[in-house]
Structure 1
Amino acid sequence: MGPRPRRSAAWVNRPAWRWPGWASAVVGGLFALLSVAWGLGSTVGISSLGGRIEELAREGDPTVLALAWVTGLAKAVGAALGVVLATGPGRLPRRWLLRTAWAGAAVLVLYGLAQQVGVLLVLTGAVTPTTPPADGVLLTRALLWEPWFWVWGLLLGLAAWCAPAVWDRR
């Protein structure tokens, strides 16, 4: 093996915390498991989504089931990225991993916050949807689903920020 890459000055004072990567992996992994369960036809928690997507999922619509599998796979990859950030890149290219993590974190945070704002606007009465949501759907989305996205994104971003220090101390 060749010499270790020289540490960038920007990485010197970063904490070598592993917990954000592991926490990101757990949050993403749980999210992935739920999507896979829905892909298998489970309706556990499906009522919290509400609307047409809930109806189609309950009917076993193949498009919805396939979408659940695709999102489950994407979430599993995101969870695995958290593990890599916590443990080290091995033979994988560091820059590519960090850029992927930062992009994923940005997407998760922006999507989660945009959805959170939309749900809160409806909950406060500032916006009235054309089709009223079922009882409890908005509250569940405001307290569970939307925060799950942006919290995962924040954890992934923190893991990406700490990863170079973690990797250099191995």
Structure 2
Amino acid sequence: MRLRLDTVSHPARWPGYAAAVWGFVFAVPSFYWAMGGSAGVTSTISPQLVELALKQDPGFLAVLWVTGVLKVVGGLLGLALVHRRAWGRGMSCLLQLMAWGAGVLLVWHGALFVGQGLLVQAHLITLAPELLSVSRWYTYLWGPWFVGGGIAFMLAARVHLSAMAGRRDARIAGLVGGFGALVLSAAALMAGIG
């Protein structure tokens, strides 16, 4: 029996709500630091970013505001994947594209943080001594946080897709979003960005 768009059971909605909470909660530090707050800045992010934050560098503040807004958009995306009644087929394809793109991007980014941190701890790669404590934050907080958010978006997209009657276009859109995010991430990594 195929589920209709508006009849997905309540327990199946948890990934969308988890993605929404992830986005909204993750937006808080961005907005806090953009408004001049400094709690957590010196111990949890890289020294180069700390310096920009403490100097209130206009470019860095703009990046914080933009990333905060993007995280709120991610939260809204999580909610949109749960509340499907209003979305037509074209919008559902866009939701799939965005959710799979966000999910793959976040898992990739977080896995890089965790992987690098574990390699540092295994003494297979070295970091400057002043980066070691920050590396632990990226390994055990930021990396898993990104991976968890990515998994929530991918699960929410999967639940959303399973509730759709005509899935072919939405499935293609999801594949394009996920593959596009992977290509973009790999290109950024090769270019030394992020």
Instruction: With the length of structure 2 as denominator, give the TM-score of the two structures.
Output: 0.73
Match for residue 65 of structure 2 among 65, 69, 77: 69
Q: Is the 8 A contact 1:16 1:166 kept in 2?
A: no
- Runs of 4+ aligned structure 1 residues displaced above 3 Å come to 164-168
Match for residue 49 of structure 1 among 36, 45, 50: 45
CA distance, structure 2, for counterparts of residue 89 and residue 42 of structure 1 = 40
Match for residue 100 of structure 1 among 81, 98, 117: 98
Q: 1:134 to 1:111 in 2, by over 3 A?
A: closer
Q: Is the 8 A contact 1:16 1:162 kept in 2?
A: no
Unaligned 5+ runs, structure 2: 4-9, 166-194
CA distance, structure 1, for counterparts of residue 32 and residue 55 of structure 2 = 15
What does 1:115-154 correspond to in 2, within 5 Å?
115-129=113-127, 131-134=128-131, 136-154=133-151
CA distance, structure 1, for counterparts of residue 93 and residue 11 of structure 2 = 17
Unaligned 5+ runs, structure 1: 1-6, 9-14
CA distance, structure 1, for counterparts of residue 139 and residue 124 of structure 2 = 15
Q: Is the 8 A contact 2:27 2:71 kept in 1?
A: yes
Percent of pairs identical after alignment? 34
CA distance, structure 2, for counterparts of residue 150 and residue 132 of structure 1 = 26
Bigger relative contact order (CA 8 A; separation at least 6): 1
CA distance, structure 2, for counterparts of residue 115 and residue 136 of structure 1 = 13
CA distance, structure 1, for counterparts of residue 122 and residue 57 of structure 2 = 33
